[in-house]
Amino acid sequence: MEINNSFEVPLPPKEAWKVLLDIERIAPCMPGAELTGKADNDTYNGKVAVKLGPVALSFAGQVKFTEVDEANLKARAKAQGKDSKGRGGANATVDFHLVPIPTGSQVIVKTDLNLSGAVAQYGRASGLIQDVASQLIGQFANCLKSKLAASAPAQPAASPQPTTAASKPISGFALIFRVLLNSLRRLFGGT
């Protein structure tokens, strides 16, 4: 299934590009995600934990940048992961590019997601998956904006970088509420 999202970053495109490719810096902003290692300059190991009510999913996998076009501010990454309890897996190709806007940059993200095994049952309602993805991208963007705002004043070069804390699983109740609210708005024609 194809999932399209976008978000804004309060930096000019060239500066935003550098931040978005600094995986160690931005990974803590992705809800439920945690970096567990780096295989090489383009490949990262990690895990993602999602808890939706009584259903808890935990994926371990790898993300690899397969294309990085710095001149055009475009990149492609391939991700794959398996549920730790053997209930299935996920494969995704994520393309993103930056576009200048008056307030900084817009990041346009296109994800081609394939779920397999029992995990695929959760993905049968593609509208639900799209809503969940939109909520996660929104949370990621808000965290990223906060990080950028906090680091806006020039810091001394010798300043230690904060350590990456283990992330908490994605909270299912607030996420489900937002997804249901969005679904009802679509159903009744509201915005």
For 19-28, 45-54, 137-146, 181-190, which range has the lowest pLDDT when averaged over its residues? 181-190
Query: How far is residue 23 from each of residues 80, 123, 158, 177, 178, measured CA to CA in Å?
Result: 16, 27, 21, 30, 27
Query: How far is residue 15 from each of residues 24, 27, 149, measured CA to CA in Å?
Result: 16, 17, 14
pLDDT in tens, 61-108: 999 999 999 999 999 999 999 988 888 888 899 999 999 999 999 999
pLDDT at 76: 96
pLDDT in tens, 26-41: 888 888 889 999 999 9
Examine the pLDDT at 182 and tell me if it is beyond 60: no
Between CA 122 and CA 86 the distance in angstroms is 15
Examine the pLDDT at 177 and tell me if it is beyond 50: no
pLDDT at 145: 82
pLDDT at 37: 93
CA 76, 78, 121, 179: dihedral to nearest 10 degrees?
-40
pLDDT at 126: 53
Greater model confidence, 124 or 56: 56
Confidence of residue 118 (pLDDT cuts 50, 70, 90): confident
On whether the pTM is more than 0.75, the answer is no
pLDDT at 153: 45
pLDDT at 12: 92
